[in-house]
Structure 1
Amino acid sequence: MSAIAWIAMGSLAAWGWLLLGQGFFWRTDQRLPASHARVEPGSWPRVAIVVPARDEAEVLPLSLPSLLSQDYPGDAEVVLVDDGSTDGTGKLAGELAARYGGLPLTVASPGEPEHGWTGKLWALRHGIGLARARDPEFLLLTDADIAHEPDSLRRLVAAAVGSDLDLVSQMARLRVASLWERLVVPAFVYFFAQLYPFRWINRRRRPLATAAAGGCVLLRTETAERARVPESIRQAVIDDVSLARAVRRAGGRIWLGLAERVDSVRPYPRLADLWRMVSRSAYAQLRHNPLVLAGTVAGLAVVYLAPPVALLAGLADGDGVAAWAGGLAWAVMAGTYLPMLRYYRQPLWLALTLPFTALLYLLMTVDSAVQHYRGRGAAWKGRTYSRPEAAPDR
């Protein structure tokens, strides 16, 4: 066989494994678990909602009112931590609370982060500290660009109490409106699920993966204290995965799934916006290891890029094995992408574009490494972390 035929056969074998052996990552049926024990009226635990916010005046009118209007039967409050904003985020939050009413709101500002802290985790430290003074049983950690349906908090708490979970996290449905969002956003969630299969995370016995989605995390306060969150992960740029690992090390039970009633309202209309979102943390995910980067690039090329190249080359050169193996691998790839496109209510023909999107992610990852070695890694909203940690060990 030709070299390209061998590569195509290797890609097909890889897709056979991904289809059946990677925790059925491509399925989208991991949704918020129904409670197994009813939470009776009067016994709903106290919850503090902590929202770190830095220059979020654009999206706050779409997200904060949804938190203030939560239909929660127990005691709850919102703590918004203004992390050095220059666009009036804190003042706007107070105005929105006065206009909409609902849950009580506290707006605070911790000042610039101390050395060794990322901005978001420094803000969470301050917000959690304020919240603990009210002795909440649960903390809802949610980003300032996340909008919640009125029953979101009730459903999260019911799942945590009913299923005896220490951390319940939902991956918010990201905005998909522009052409680039349609091409990149569903694939972002697809790749995340491939790396951290939700079924493996949600196993009670011997979980094979650990992760969370930072936009929506309900965390038991006692477990947070036992895991020393957020102090134990203070340098983490990929804070959601680091948080889940800290909770797991502390003996906590974790659940992660796709959201049905939690949405991100942040727009990413241009490719440059999405590029920054991915590249700021891609190399940190690889622990800044050049060998892991090289392996990742090679793996993406063989698994995602080789099938269409082999199909076209095989048809052009009359190489039947290359064309057959490449075409079948591409078909399996597209088939595994269909459930995610349905979840995002996108045209199913976009499944054929996954190799192109994978090429974009490959380039974003390489750019992330380049920016890291230039000392501009993990730049976000005016802050740059030159050598951030993906998930500190202690």
Structure 2
Amino acid sequence: MGQTAPVSAVVWTAAVSLAAWLWLLLFQGFFWRTDVRLPSRREPEAWPSVCVVVPARDEAAVLPASLPSLLAQDYPGRAEVFLVDDGSTDGTGELARELAGRPGSLPLTVGSPGEPPAGWTGKLWAVRHGIELARARAPEYLLLTDADIAHAPDSLRRLVAAARTGGFDVVSQMARLRVESAWERLVVPAFVYFFAQLYPFRRIGRQGTRTAAAAGGCVLLRAEAAERARIPDAIRQAVIDDVALARAVKAGGGRVWLGLADRVDSVRPYPRLDDLWRMVSRSAYAQLRHSPVLLAGTVVGLALVYLVPPVAVVAGLAAGDRGAVAVGAAAWLVMAGTYLPMLRYYRQPLWLAPLLPFTAFLYLLMTVDSAVRHHRGRGAAWKGRTYPRPGVLPDEG
């Protein structure tokens, strides 16, 4: 009799977890599939002009692997690159100028906006400066890309063709992140998997849905849509600026597409767990709108969905309860099965799939740490800057 109640509670909790996984599998926009790539496209008769804006702060270590790929774009129309040096102390601007000027490369302008005023994140202040420089060229499209992103020679061409063919105001690709160290293999594919679970790519590209997101490393934005949505001024406080940009464009009636990249790669290494931890924790609490209620709900949700299945299996084995083992194992199996496509996309061994609960536990700790850092005044810290919780600023019309 002493074991009946706790074992029964384990079975019921595992059953709720299994039900949640079946719902996620079938009704969350098939988030687990990795076949959402650049949509069908045809090359336009006249190629529109494009300005590429690259905000950069202390990026000298990665710039030689990324900037030349932008300057070497095989684009039939007029294109120009604007790198905005956001107060770097490692010679980023000087290095960018040294990398430019090779025969056949796109023109490069290096600018510097100075320190961001109150109410602006450094990246968006740099993006604003870059867009202002670009407006003198009257481009039809802006490509916003990070300084650690390397593009295949036909990347810009493919992005523009997809935007023109599909009538999209935003075409964004989630760059394939670097996966070389043991911690990168464990954490990085799960990062993209969790993002797709929150923002199913299929829903983003579908008209009539409210789901909107972009991946900041590669965002092709129609200049007219940017002006209509007041980008970046309308989102100047956003720490998660890519999602905020997509929401602003979609709220203004624009069409947004987001998918996984085949030929756009991040060259930034995250060799240690501490590097990945800082990358996630700097924005995790901002994703929850700095809400303790949402934080509590997220912790409970992560525990129920990701941690309960293995705990139920272990508890069932310890108590000799086959029901707990069967239900927990079924939920764990569905979880691991939905993770396999992402591991294949990242060319990682499939035996990592059953370890997803451990990775989810790490993300839970990172999210809690993000909240603790925020309440200690160290939230959203990145490259020497710390951003407080966004306040309510007057609208500039």
**Both proteins in one fold, TM over 0.5:** yes
Q: Which deviations, in whole Å up to 9, do the C-alpha atoms of 1:97-117 show, x marking residues without a partner?
A: 035650000000000001100
CA distance in 1, matches of 2:265, 2:391: 28
Alignment pair present for 1:194 and 2:200: no
Question: Structure 1 pair 252/77, CA: closer, same or farther in 2 (3 Å)?
Answer: same
Alignment pair present for 1:39 and 2:51: no
2:358 to 353, 356, 359: 356
Alignment pair present for 1:249 and 2:245: no
Q: Which deviations, in whole Å up to 9, do the C-alpha atoms of 1:152-194 show, x marking residues without a partner?
A: 0000000001111100000000000000000000000000000
**Could you tell me whether the CA contact under 8 Å between 1:56 and 1:87 is conserved in 2?**
yes
2:162 to 159, 167, 186: 159
Pairing 1:93-108 to 2, within 5 Å after superposition: 93-99=96-102, 102-108=105-111
Report deviation, 1:363.
Answer: 0.0
Report deviation, 1:390.
Answer: 12
1:111 to 111, 114, 139: 114
| 1:296 match | 298
Question: Structure 1 pair 368/343, CA: closer, same or farther in 2 (3 Å)?
Answer: same
Question: Structure 1 pair 139/182, CA: closer, same or farther in 2 (3 Å)?
Answer: same
CA distance in 2, matches of 1:387, 1:371: 12
Report deviation, 1:2.
Answer: 1.2
| 2:4 match | none
Alignment pair present for 1:61 and 2:67: no
Pairing 1:166-177 to 2, within 5 Å after superposition: 166-177=169-180
| 2:333 match | 331
Report deviation, 1:208.
Answer: 3.9
TM-score normalised by structure 2 residue count: 0.96
Q: Which deviations, in whole Å up to 9, do the C-alpha atoms of 1:202-241 show, x marking residues without a partner?
A: 102x114110000000000000000000000000000000
Pairing 1:156-305 to 2, within 5 Å after superposition: 156-204=159-207, 206-305=208-307
| 1:5 match | 11
Of stretches 227-236 and 1-10 in structure 1, the one that deviates more from structure 2 is 1-10
Which amino acid counterpart does residue 15 of structure 1 have in structure 2? W
Report deviation, 1:388.
Answer: 3.7
CA distance in 2, matches of 1:221, 1:319: 61
Matched position secondary structure for 1:98: coil
Matched position secondary structure for 1:136: coil
Report deviation, 1:312.
Answer: 1.2
Report deviation, 1:386.
Answer: 1.9
Which amino acid counterpart does residue 130 of structure 2 have in structure 1? G
Matched position secondary structure for 2:171: strand
Matched position secondary structure for 2:259: strand
Question: Structure 1 pair 237/390, CA: closer, same or farther in 2 (3 Å)?
Answer: farther
**Could you tell me whether the CA contact under 8 Å between 2:101 and 2:107 is conserved in 1?**
no
CA distance in 2, matches of 1:377, 1:141: 25
Q: Which deviations, in whole Å up to 9, do the C-alpha atoms of 1:333-377 show, x marking residues without a partner?
A: 000000000000000000011000000000000000000000000
CA distance in 2, matches of 1:109, 1:393: 26
Matched position secondary structure for 2:381: coil
**Could you tell me whether the CA contact under 8 Å between 2:250 and 2:256 is conserved in 1?**
yes
| 1:342 match | 344
CA distance in 2, matches of 1:233, 1:391: 11
Which amino acid counterpart does residue 33 of structure 1 have in structure 2? P
Pairing 1:65-144 to 2, within 5 Å after superposition: 65-99=68-102, 102-144=105-147
**Could you tell me whether the CA contact under 8 Å between 1:238 and 1:390 is conserved in 2?**
no
1:22 to 23, 28, 31: 28
1:49 to 44, 49, 52: 52
Report deviation, 1:70.
Answer: 0.1
CA distance in 1, matches of 2:226, 2:74: 25
Q: Which deviations, in whole Å up to 9, do the C-alpha atoms of 1:240-272 show, x marking residues without a partner?
A: 000001101111101000000000000000000
**Could you tell me whether the CA contact under 8 Å between 2:55 and 2:126 is conserved in 1?**
yes
CA distance in 1, matches of 2:210, 2:346: 27
| 2:3 match | none
Question: Structure 1 pair 335/280, CA: closer, same or farther in 2 (3 Å)?
Answer: same
CA distance in 2, matches of 1:70, 1:233: 29
Aligned length: 390
CA distance in 2, matches of 1:319, 1:391: 57
Unaligned runs of 5+ in 2: 1-6
CA distance in 1, matches of 2:231, 2:299: 33
Of stretches 384-393 and 251-260 in structure 1, the one that deviates more from structure 2 is 384-393
CA distance in 2, matches of 1:191, 1:208: 19
TM-score normalised by structure 1 residue count: 0.97
Superposed CA RMSD: 1.5
**Could you tell me whether the CA contact under 8 Å between 2:119 and 2:390 is conserved in 1?**
no
Among the aligned pairs, what percent are the same residue? Answer: 77
Question: Structure 1 pair 296/144, CA: closer, same or farther in 2 (3 Å)?
Answer: same
Matched position secondary structure for 2:101: helix
CA distance in 1, matches of 2:392, 2:169: 22
4+ aligned runs moved over 3 Å, structure 1: 98-101, 388-394
